[in-house]
Amino acid sequence: MAYKLSQPSKGKGIIIFKHLEIKFINRLNQNLINKLKQKYIIGVYFGFHTQLSVDIDWADFYLAADNLIKIKKSTKPRIPLNGFNFISSQEIQSDNITPKKYDFLFIGNSQTRKNLLPFVKSLKEMSKSTKDFNILIINRLGESLENKLYVHKIRKVLSSLQADVRKNIRYIESLTVSDPLPKDALKLFYQQSRYLVITSRSEGAARVVGEASLNNLAIISYAKMLGGTNNHLDLDVDILFDDFKDLSSTLLNALKKRGELNSYSSTNKNCYLEEYSKVILIEHLVALFNFKQTDLESELLSKNLYNAFSSHLNLLDSKFSNNQTDEILSYKKMYLFISSLTLSITPSHKKLKYNILDFISKFKKITNLPKTIIKLIIY
């Protein structure tokens, strides 16, 4: 996911890698990393809650929201921003006044950490007390066997609901790799909903929370979620739940307050908008690395950073990317990519070395698959 934040035309440029790419860079020859550092200030974007025992020696700074990374005795600077701080209001925010249709909105994918299964189970439990609710669930499907087994369980719970309950739940599955639905459709769904429900076990800083807040939804969030998602919640309106056994009662209590949300307007929007966060980013980079503020402003203020770090749309060269995302998830491709940036020669024996590392990595995934299947069967 390497992203050129700044070109090296005037001194050093700025390049940002994603946390998933750390292990591939760690295996590179130190001379190659040194060449890269001669041309670029290197940042690492953490899009997921991460704990490290030591600093990343080749990184110059981290880009991560509060509560997102834990590193013992870290000395590297951290800029406290994440993907949900760079949302373009023009992309997702709607000014339309739309009648509320859904009490609860869930937008996520079929990874087990998203906890969609406990959520739909809580709906079944809630239906014992009331059938007066409407829910929209958007589930982006993954291609792995783990994802498919998990989705099967979700469908099974939904199909077990009585007809007078099931008719109040709109369940949409999407196969797209990036956004689950077009942005215009998402705008409409946000505007039609009262609460966003986010139940993840861990996140980076979930962009849907920022998007929902910009569209004046209240948030119902898992209090023990690792990461930075709960940083900006307004607890006068937003709701935290501590345990999944309490989720159905939390939803019931939220239903009692839904009338108050028909004209709710979030007062905590600025932190999610990129026009505010760009200024913060520039100020930090100037202070840390002595860039000229005017140079950075001319480069960054005109750039659209929506999805730049947190999504899968901004690889510098597509031939190095994973076929489903823009992340460089191959030892060989990472080596070739950084060689291309530094204009380094790529000898055949080096390519062979990284081919072997890629083969070992794939073999480990295959041998670990039975454990994943057993875990999901007994889930």
Segments of the chain with pLDDT less than 70: 1-2, 9-10, 93-96, 176-180, 310-319, 321-325, 346, 348-349, 363-379
pLDDT at 1: 53
Contact 215, 92 (CB under 8 A): yes
pLDDT at 262: 73
Q: Residue 37 is encoded by which pair of tokens? A: 């550092």
**How is the chain split into domains, by residue range?**
3-86+273-373, 89-271
Residues with Cβ within 8 Å of residue 203, at least 6 apart in sequence: 48, 49, 225, 226, 227, 228, 229
Contact 33, 58 (CB under 8 A): yes
User: Structure pTM?
Assistant: 0.86
Judged on CB neighbours under 10 Å (0-12, 13-18, 19+), 17 is buried
φ, ψ of residue 103 to 5 degrees: the values are: -75, -40
Contact 150, 65 (CB under 8 A): no
pLDDT at 316: 57
Fold of 89-271: Rossmann fold (3.40.50)
pLDDT at 60: 97
Residues 308-351 have pLDDT tens digits of 776 545 555 666 766 666 788 888 889 988 998 888 876 766 77
pLDDT at 83: 86
pLDDT at 284: 97
**Alpha-carbon Rg of the chain, whole angstroms?**
22
Judged on CB neighbours under 10 Å (0-12, 13-18, 19+), 319 is exposed
φ, ψ of residue 365 to 5 degrees: the values are: -65, -40
Residues 363-378 have pLDDT tens digits of 666 666 566 656 555 5
Residues paired with 78 in a beta bridge: 62
